[in-house]
Amino acid sequence: MRKSVAVVVVTVLIGMIQRSDAKVVQFIFGDSLSDVGNNNQLSKSLAKASLPWYGIDFGNGLPNGRFSNGRTVADIIGDKLGLPRPPAFLTRTLFSRMGLSMSSCRGAIESSACFDQIQRFSLYKQIELFQGTQDLIMNKIGIQEANNFFRGSRYVVALGSNDFINNYLMPVYSDSWTYSDEGFVEYLTKTLQQQLELLYRLGARQLMVFGLGPMGCIPLQRVLSSSGGCQDRANKLAVGFNQQTTKMLQAMSSKFPDATFRFGDAYDVVNNVILNPVKYGFNNSDAPCCSFGKIRPALTCIPASSLCTDRSKYVFWDEYHPTDSANEIIANELIKKFGFLRPNGTEGPSRAPADAPASAPSPLG
């Protein structure tokens, strides 16, 4: 089945590549913060956004694979830059747009992280699937034309939190007693460098690597702390990873001068929204909008969950992921911080496909 899906996606890509007005597109590698449906197609995955109330404020209000009530940060940034939204690699639908999202919930830099989830795509696996897509396209349209297309595309890599939250910070996994905090950050950064060099060898020349936010302040981490506050150790690990990744990308820029490696440090942006919610129009930044009554942590949002009265006032949708409103604030702040510009040949901002109205109904009436 996976092979037939890949053939359909590649057929669409080939048709679009051969058009003279083909636009700049994105290939996104990540985790649940940018998953747009891959995990929903994995029959044995335990991490899916396939049940209500995921997607309630997006399109027809039904679950679509995004781990939020609405759009992801990648959706919003791409829309504002006039870039087509890349469909999920495993989605069965025939898309008229371009690019691909390889992102997978519980995706991680380290392949062995989150092994308890049975099925998910680690970053190495995402790159492997991307390479398979490249091979099919090259065989169809020729190496030179395919190389030009892939070299002109944009690449986004955004993951790493699962390596810490669902691996290193859990004492049941060997990494927690094998490494020191500094040692694990160094190991993870070196692994990421090897993966980015793989993408470079596959033709990626414009890469944006996003760092980690204050992962110690997500609702899951707060509810597991004795005080209900942010977990300082988790946040320090995020800062350390961001610092090491910045240095690593600077070294890669020197090593590969024909490529652009940019680091998107979103830590301060997300931290400001969490610490100053009222400034950004929110009234809650420490609890999930979708929860199972007073039972915490509620690891996922399900039909039996209760929703907050006003979803636009909550920073977090579930124990892990931001709401559509928070993602929009974060995306806008990132665009300003990094000075993102629309690529040549794009018409922006592009309209999000079938977005639901801002005042989508609540299941509570």
Q: Is 43 helix (H, G, I), strand (E, B) or coil?
A: coil
Q: Active site residue: 57, 68, 312, 321, which one?
A: 321
Cis peptide before 53 (omega within 30 of 0): yes
Nearest 5°: phi and psi at 149? Answer: -65, -50
The helix (H) or strand (E) run that includes residue 17 is helix 2-17
Q: Which residues of 102-124 are buried (b: 16+ CB within 10 A; e: fewer)?
A: bbbbbbbbbeebbeebebbbbbb
CB 197 within 8 A of CB 262: no
Which is nearest to 266 in space by CA: 210, 197, 193, 207?
210
Helices (H), 202-302: 219-223, 232-255, 267-275
- Nearest to 27, CA basis, from 92, 100, 111, 117: 100
**Distance between terminal CA atoms of the chain?**
40
For the chain, state the CA radius of gyration: 20
φ, ψ at 290 (rounded to 5°): -100, 115
Question: Any catalytic annotation for residue 32?
Answer: yes
Catalytic option among 75, 79, 163, 318 = 318
Q: Which two tokens stand for residue 337?
A: 């911080």
User: Between 2-17 and 143-152, two packed helices, what is the crossing angle to 10 degrees?
Assistant: 90
Query: Could you write out the three-class secondary structure of 144-185?
Result: HHHHHHHHHCEEEEECCHHHHHHHHCCCCCCHHHHCCHHHHH
232 is catalytic: no
Catalytic residue among 31, 32, 57, 122: 32
Q: Is 153 a catalytic residue?
A: no
The total of other beta-carbon atoms located within 10 Å of residue 222's CB is 21
**Residues that are catalytic:** 32, 318, 321
